[in-house]
Amino acid sequence: MPYVMPAVMRNIDVMGSTMGSRKEFADMVEFVTKKQLKPVVSRVVRGINDMDALDSLFADMQQGKQFGKLVVEIPKEGESSKL
């Protein structure tokens, strides 16, 4: 933990926050619907048959290339997935 004295000397709160409650989840989704907000999707891979394609999403994340979320679309059985 880096030296926090500059924060302390200014009466600044340093807080941790991780995830959220079921109630916060509901509130968040309601806000997104009400304000018509759209999460940014960086790239989509379609299908769960091609491990290399799925690996490429993880590679984007590891290299910090993404701007937004990396998503896998999972087609219904019988639909062809692009290989």
- Tell me the closest approach of the beta carbon of residue 75 to other proteins, in angstroms: 8
Backbone phi, psi, residue 12, to 5°: -95, 135
- Tell me the closest approach of the beta carbon of residue 68 to other proteins, in angstroms: 6
* Cα distance between the two ends of the chain: 45
Q: Is 77 in the site for other proteins (CB under 8 A)?
A: yes
Contact 69, 42 (CB under 8 A): yes
Q: Is 82 in the site for other proteins (CB under 8 A)?
A: no
Question: Chain centroid to CA 51: how far?
Answer: 20
Interface residues toward other proteins, by CB under 8 A:
1-4, 6-7, 9-29, 31-33, 35-41, 44, 48-49, 51, 54-55, 57-58, 61-62, 64, 66-74, 76-77
